[in-house]
Amino acid sequence: MKRFRLAALLAAAAVALLPTTARADTAYPDPRPITGQEIIHDPTVSHLKSGPYVAYSTGGIIGARLSDDGTQWDDAGNAFAEPPSWWYEYNDTGDPWAPDLSYRAGRYWLYYAVSSWGTNHSAIGVATSPSGLPGTWTDQGKVFTSETSDTWNAIDPALIQADGKLWMAFGSYWTGIRMVELDPKTGKAVTGATVHHLATRPDAPYAVEGPYIVKHGRYYYLFASYDACCSGVNSTYKIKVGRSTSVTGPYVDSTGAALLEGGGDLVLEGHGRYVGTGGQSVFQDKGADWLAYHYYDAEDDGTPKLGLNKLSWQKNGWPVVR
């Protein structure tokens, strides 16, 4: 699940490093070289209308990075100066996770989750901004929640517009990936929203989370992170994908296996120093699609860093990282 404490992560990495001779899998490309502030977890990236690139992430009060060129990244503080008071209903530290940034109706929308490790007493919230820059956000409160009596977990939000409606995919463990319809005016779940089921694993603990959906051609592509994050070089995160002609599914992989039955094509997994690739999102820049994610650097004590790869589309319609 997308929850991260840097101190705990580094402590775990210090006692359990991968061998320095880790084999590089040439089937997967390395991330684009970047400079500056590379440390990040669960990135959501956008090229703002005002010019710079911004990346928001788990850590801090939604940590922010800015870049003029997409290569040199600088620390830009946090989205918020202090946590909204209602966050403390879901954890003692007011610690938000896994943001999702989008632009709609003349303003930027920043969705995020608040919860505690190991529980689905969770909430997804939203804030709005005219510019998308850190320090300009106004919190709008809860979007959707889950309780321990539910069979889903309201974290890891990701927005998509489809067929004239606004949708939010979400989910982590607790039977996997779900989706609800949102009211486009408020950005919050419609009253009595149906909770659609998009992807899961056949066995507990149903280790799939962090959905992100992209429309390409006539298909919707559901990207998700599988297996375990947040353990430094012991992380086993990997990114898989399935597709559907309907945003609410059913999603299948290239062999026809249903994502509701554990299917999914591998898009990116750990290779060489780049361990535990996941926490992904997709953004468009200059007509190209880019995959943003974090990895744990096996040559830097398992520190989580920003990965960026161009996302290309094969003739058969399936995505591949470059």
Token pair in block for residue 199: 């992807």
Q: Identify whether the C-beta of residue 73 lies closer than 8 Å to the C-beta of residue 32.
A: no
Q: Identify whether the C-beta of residue 44 lies closer than 8 Å to the C-beta of residue 56.
A: yes
* Alpha-helical regions (H) of 107-258: none
Q: Does 203 participate in catalysis according to the annotation?
A: no
Catalytic residue among 156, 209, 269, 297, which?
Answer: 209
Identify the helix (H) or strand (E) that includes residue 13.
Answer: helix 6-15
Task: Outline where DSSP puts E strands in 177-302.
Answer: 177-182, 196-199, 208-216, 219-226, 238-244, 265-269, 274-285, 288-297
Estimate to the nearest angstrom the gap between the alpha carbon of 72 and the chain centroid: 22
Catalytic residue among 42, 139, 156, 181, which?
Answer: 42
Going by C-alpha positions, the residue among 159, 195, 204, 150 that lies closest to residue 177 is 195
Estimate to the nearest angstrom the gap between the alpha carbon of 103 and the chain centroid: 17
Q: Does 42 participate in catalysis according to the annotation?
A: yes
Contacts of 128 (CB under 8 A, 6+ apart): 107, 108, 109, 110, 137, 138, 140, 187
**Catalytic residue numbers, as ranges:** 42, 209
